[in-house]
Chain A
Amino acid sequence: MFDNNNIYKPIKARLTDVITESPLIKTFVLAPEHEFSFETGQFIELSVDGIGEAPFTPSSSPLITDMLEVTVMKTGYVTEYMHNLKSDVNMGIRGPYGRGYPVEVFEGKEILILGGGCGLAPIRSLLYKLESMKDKLEKVTLCYGSKTPEDCIYKPLFKRLNNIEKFEAFRTVDKPDEGWTESVGVVTTLLNRVRININKSIAIVCGPPVMMKFGTIRLLEMGFTDNQIYLSMEKNMSCGLGKCGHCMMGEFFVCKDGPVFTYGEIKHNPEIWK
């Protein structure tokens, strides 16, 4: 997808739409100048001209190659600029980079997904992929937590998922408002409601570092083994090429060896929850 001769040069992508998902989160719809394909869980480096570049895992379906969506929380220098962008400007894309979800390994399994906050973005892309291969899967359960109902992104997604055969989705918030009828509490509380055959399952965790840590601990308590848990790690992936060193996590470059790892692959490393 990137310039084969120059690994640092981005391709252009037209920003065609900006969708507000929550007060802090927007989805950017991009039309790349060339066909652009990625595997779910891989990430791209997205640049705002002259401002900076940041890594994002696309939230759109990996089956679509002429359009790309990234869902971005306003949290730093580049993302703040992004949130002020209006459609019809050019952005830069490098990638896709890294190792995504090994979906072929998921065949014949029950899949439990634990997501928090903006961590639902890569999960949405994964859900599109899982939906396309649902005949080969036993079951897909999504447990998602956000701070408030207002912070909950992709609201129509949950209704849709609950109407798909073999799929179910639960939501929880830390602080409910008056109209909230679903669960209250951290995302791990939803696991008490999940009926799953652990021996035939795999679990996927994606969210803020603290949620990933306690989510993993809870899954281990439930009986998941280290290699049944897939984590999507978040580090400062700057070059995406396994060279610049900013995303080193022990001996791993998260950008190249990850961002998706099994807990078993990285648990020896005390750096993972930092």
Chain B
Amino acid sequence: MRYYITTKSEWDKKLDQLLLSHTIFATVSNDLGLDFEFLRPADIDNIKYNCPRPVTSLKTFFLPPRENVTADRDSDSPRIIIGAPNCDIEGLSLLDEIYLDRDFKDMFFNWRRKNTIIVATDCFSYRDNCHCVSYGIKPFTTRIADMSVSQLNGTMIFRCITDKGEAFIKTVINAQLLEDKNFVESVENNNTEVEKTLTEKNKGLPDYARSGKLLESAGKNIWKKYSSDCVSCGSCTTICPTCSCFLLIDKPGFEKVKQMDTCQYPGFERVAGGEDALYELSERFRNRYMCKYVWKPKKYRSTACTGCGRCIDSCLGKINKNELIMELVK
């Protein structure tokens, strides 16, 4: 994997120029913590690199909460998204499988994917509920994104991932090929350290496949117990980098509006006759776990839980998915 290097001041200057032709979103600190923000020239110096996952997941840039899918495709200027952690990048891999499948390609999703340069960042630290490593996902990116950026003091180091990313690094950023192995080692050492610490911290948490087996054979009691604090708010699925269910709403003129939806809301599976397989709260609660750990793995190659831990942080009922899984281990 090739690395390129430039100075922080050069990179910042380039971003300032790129703002004339591109829409850029980058991770900056705001009142909620670290989050993707629409980048303004004054914020370029405030971009946070190598921080663990932002509040919002990357999926929002490809699956907006609401869009008219019978309107003409938007013709936005090209986009650059800076600072996506690997849990989000891996989540995008599942969204690609669903939305760009061979039979039915979503042209809006496809356009946004093509129109966006994704600049991932390696996590040099982690949050309390980060557990990507338990599911075989590294805290740094080597696929799907176009490139990855790391900051070492006044230096920016870019890891090339796609041809599109390499062309961008070489011709737009004008970064130099990095031949000094010390720099590469510094980045890789940071990555290895975080990976080790995360592995130690999540010791005992079953891997993805075993979690699926445990959840599949779980009895009704555990679903009732953990769902008793669930208020069906849908924050877990809304904030999840892989949850992508939606509702089509009809508008006059045969227009259709696609709005993100969640199996956690009552009536998600209700049919016109009134039958509703997910009528009970505990059934809806179970549905999310089964979908992520049992059903999606049978259908897709990508993992449907990337261990970002956002669902745990966002839960109004303070339900911890990993505690449920650990209870099944006992």
Interface residues of A (CB under 8 A from B): 5-10, 12, 47-54, 75-79, 90, 92, 208-209, 234-236, 238-239, 241-251, 256, 271, 274
Contact = CB atoms under 8 A, between A and B. Distances in A.
B295 A248 contact: yes
A245 B269 CA distance: 9
A242 B97 CA distance: 11
Given A9-B69, A274-B277, 19 more contacts: A6-B69, A8-B69, A9-B70, A10-B254, A10-B256, A47-B250, A47-B254, A49-B254, A75-B272, A209-B275, A235-B269, A235-B271, A236-B270, A241-B104, A242-B98, A242-B101, A245-B244, A245-B261, A248-B263
Contacts of B98: 242-243
A151 to B, nearest CB: 15
Interface string B244-267: 111110111110101001010000
A213 to B, nearest CB: 12
A79 B272 CA distance: 8
B246 A239 contact: yes
A92 B104 CA distance: 19
Nearest to B271: A236
B106 interface: yes
A76 B272 contact: yes
Contacts of A10: 254, 256
Nearest to B67: A8
A54 B272 CA distance: 9
A196 B62 CA distance: 55
Interface in B280-303: 290-291, 294-296, 298-299
Contacts of A9: 69-70, 254, 256
Contact of A75 (B105, B106, B273, B277): B273
Interface string B296-326: 1011000000000000000000000000000
B248 A244 contact: yes
Contacts of B294: 251
A6 B74 CA distance: 13
Contacts of A50: 250-253
B250 A234 contact: no
A245 B263 contact: yes
B69 A234 contact: no
A208 B272 CA distance: 12
Contact of A6 (B101, B107, B251, B291): B107
Given A8-B70, A50-B252, A244 B272 contact: no
A186 B308 CA distance: 52
A245 B271 contact: no
B229 to A, nearest CB: 24
Interface of B: 69-70, 98-99, 101, 103-107, 244-248, 250-254, 256, 258, 261, 263, 268-273, 275, 277, 290-291, 294-296, 298-299
A205 B299 CA distance: 26
Nearest to A80: B272
Given A246-B245, A248-B295, A7 B105 contact: yes
A130 B295 CA distance: 35
A7 B99 contact: no
Given A12-B254, A243-B244, A243-B246, A76 B69 contact: no
Contacts of B247: 238, 244, 246
A78 B253 CA distance: 16
A256 B299 CA distance: 12
A251 B269 CA distance: 15
A67 to B, nearest CB: 20
Contact of B250 (A53, A245, A246): A53
A231 B258 CA distance: 30
A87 B251 CA distance: 21
A238 B270 CA distance: 11
Contact of B261 (A242, A244, A271): A244
A249 B299 CA distance: 12
Contacts of B101: 242
A47 B249 CA distance: 11
26 contacts: A6-B107, A7-B106, A8-B69, A8-B70, A9-B256, A10-B256, A12-B254, A47-B250, A49-B253, A53-B248, A53-B256, A76-B271, A238-B247, A239-B246, A241-B103, A243-B98, A243-B99, A245-B244, A245-B246, A245-B263, A246-B245, A248-B269, A249-B277, A250-B295, A251-B295, A251-B299
